Amino acid sequence: MTIVDSHVEATTTTGLMDIEAVQKALNRSRASVYRYANTDPHSTNLAYDPKRLNPEMRSSPAEGLLFHPNEVARFAKDVLRIKHVTIEIQELQPNATQELLQAILTELQGIHQTLKSRA
């Protein structure tokens, strides 16, 4: 099956894509995404391979695979020969946790400025 157009989208808080997002973007099965991935059960992080889909570095084999959207786009263009690839990174909609963290950050920045002005 040949894909003429592909849309790479990352919506996680880190901006990285999990297996499901890569599967959707490349229109491939989960098994084929794992076959494309540059992984080895005996090694956590392998050297970069331009013919494979290279995941981000992991600290343990138990961590899930995450991929940078640019790497997924590169793989789609260079290896799968998909002609038109669009990268779109969407910010998550603000939720209560993010709003609380933003309020804490604002408060800490205010405290920092106050302490800085006293020094």
Please tell me the predicted confidence (pLDDT) of residue 4: 37
Q: What is the pLDDT of residues 78-92, one digit of tens each?
A: 999 988 887 776 666
pLDDT digits (tens, 9 = 90+) for 25-81: 898 999 999 999 999 888 889 999 999 999 999 888 888 899 999 999 999 999 999
3-class DSSP state for residue 35?
Answer: helix
Taking the model in full, what pTM does it have?
0.65
DSSP E strand boundaries for 1-119 = 5-10, 84-89
Distance, CA of 7 to chain centre? 14
Question: What is the gyration radius of the CA atoms in the chain, in angstroms?
Answer: 19
Phi-psi label, residue 50: left if phi above 0, alpha if psi -120 to 50, beta otherwise: alpha
Q: For position 119, what pLDDT does the model report?
A: 82
| pLDDT given at position 42 | 82
Q: What is the pLDDT of residue 61?
A: 83
